[in-house]
């Protein structure tokens, strides 16, 4: 571009703009060596993350006497006998149903309580709203092992021990504070003008929240659903402490029956472990479109 007919100030601005554009382009370019190191590091990370589940799947296809061997042989004579055994000769279907019930209601109650609490603190300035959010954050500092005893005593007095409903409430005490804090940050990114428009149209505060704000908060709700589901699906400590009968066991507790004092049935254990991961994978596939947006939204505005 010719700058002969331009004023000195305009020519200087054009030159500065062209120089900054060139710098940005050079910054985005990578040398072959750096590109190789980057892709090699990603490949190592991929292999590191895939080897354990692949090895568990291959082990589930082996007989128990071949699960642990000193021979450098990945697999021979694969069969589905371990899967047939755990599905037909153990209480795995019952454990599976109990885990589905607990995880579903934990997710449902967790989403409702987290969303309403996060929205209330984000939009309303009631007395103690800051202290409420700080209390949510402080509860995350306590290890789960410390909370087992007080929750156990409370459930014993309320008659909630050895019940799936009591286990759902126990999981909500862990999931709701974190999710409420996260959704509060997400609701802060939604313009308050939307709430004002809803009130002008005659909606109540809950109607504005339900009909206008929640549809815009789908990414945050997806993260909440995924987190609450995983909290209940793979948890062991609460389920072991609060459930005493075999009919109320969840999957995480039931898998311990394959681990004996002197022998571990690795074939049955890995087969059941592979089956346990299927619902978690399904939930992840359902929410993956909104997962990244929900995790990053609200990170710079609190």
Handedness of CA 169, 173, 175, 176 (dihedral sign): positive
Q: Which residues contact residue 245 at a Cβ distance below 8 angstroms, ignoring those fewer than 6 apart?
A: 162
Architecture of domain 83-296: Orthogonal Bundle (1.10)
Matching residue, tokens 């010719």: 2
Report how many helices (DSSP H) and strands (DSSP E) the chain contains, helices first.
Answer: 14, 0
pLDDT of residue 25: 43
Query: What does the angle CA 298 – CA 300 – CA 302 come to, to the nearest 5 degrees?
Result: 65
pLDDT of residue 138: 83
- Alpha-carbon span 29 to 46, nearest angstrom: 24
- Alpha-carbon span 103 to 107, nearest angstrom: 6
CA 116: distance to chain centroid? 19
- Alpha-carbon span 255 to 267, nearest angstrom: 12
- Alpha-carbon span 287 to 294, nearest angstrom: 10
Query: What does the angle CA 145 – CA 146 – CA 152 come to, to the nearest 5 degrees?
Result: 85
Where in the chain is CATH 1.10.3720.10? 83-296
C-alpha dihedral, 112 to 115 to 119 to 125, nearest 10°? 70
Q: How close are the terminal C-alpha atoms of the chain, in Å?
A: 46
The first and second tokens of residue 83, run together, are 């899967």
Predicted TM-score (pTM) of this structure:
0.77
- Alpha-carbon span 232 to 171, nearest angstrom: 6
Three-class DSSP labels, 180-224: HHHHHHHHHCCCCHHHHHHHHCCCCHHHHHHHHHHHHCHHHHHHH
Q: Which residues contact residue 298 at a Cβ distance below 8 angstroms, ignoring those fewer than 6 apart?
A: 182, 184, 185, 186, 187, 188, 189, 220
Q: Which residues contact residue 301 at a Cβ distance below 8 angstroms, ignoring those fewer than 6 apart?
A: 185, 188, 189
Residue 95 contacts residue 253 (beta carbons within 8 Å) = yes
CA-wise closest residue to 192 among 204, 209, 167 = 209
pLDDT of residue 45: 92
Mean pLDDT of successive 10-residue stretches along the chain, which has 302 residues: 51 52 51 85 90 86 72 70 90 92 94 92 83 82 85 92 92 90 88 88 87 88 89 89 88 84 82 89 80 55 44
Residue 256 contacts residue 43 (beta carbons within 8 Å) = no
pLDDT of residue 291: 66
């Amino acid at each position: 571009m010719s700058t002969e007919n331009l004023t000195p100030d305009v020519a200087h601005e054009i030159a500065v703009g062209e120089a900054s554009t060139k710098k940005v382009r050079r910054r985005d370019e990578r040398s072959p060596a750096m590109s190789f190191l980057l892709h090699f590091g990603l490949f190592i990370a991929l292999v590191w993350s895939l080897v354990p589940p692949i090895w568990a799947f291959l082990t589930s296809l082996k007989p128990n006497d071949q699960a642990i061997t000193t021979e450098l042989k990945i697999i021979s004579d694969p069969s589905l006998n371990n899967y047939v055994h755990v599905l037909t000769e153990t209480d795995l279907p019952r454990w599976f149903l109990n885990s589905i019930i607990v995880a579903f209601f934990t997710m449902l109650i967790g989403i409702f309580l987290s969303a309403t609490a996060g929205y209330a603190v984000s939009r309303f300035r009631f007395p103690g709203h800051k202290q409420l959010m700080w209390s949510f954050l402080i509860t995350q500092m306590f290890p789960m092992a410390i909370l087992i005893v007080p929750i156990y005593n409370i459930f014993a007095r309320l008659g909630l021990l050895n019940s799936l409903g009591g286990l759902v409430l126990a999981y909500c005490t862990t999931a709701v504070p974190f999710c409420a804090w996260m959704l509060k940050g997400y609701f802060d990114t939604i313009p308050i003008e939307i709430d004002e428009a809803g009130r002008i149209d005659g909606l109540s505060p809950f109607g504005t929240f339900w009909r206008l704000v929640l549809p815009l908060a789908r990414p945050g709700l997806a993260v909440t659903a995924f987190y609450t589901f995983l909290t209940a699906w793979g948890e062991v400590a609460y389920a072991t402490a609060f459930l005493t009968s075999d009919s109320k066991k969840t999957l995480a507790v039931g898998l311990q029956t394959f681990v004996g004092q002197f022998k571990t049935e690795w074939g049955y254990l890995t087969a059941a472990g592979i089956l346990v991961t299927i619902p978690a994978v399904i939930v992840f596939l359902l929410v993956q479109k909104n997962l990244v947006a929900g995790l990053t939204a609200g990170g710079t505005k609190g």
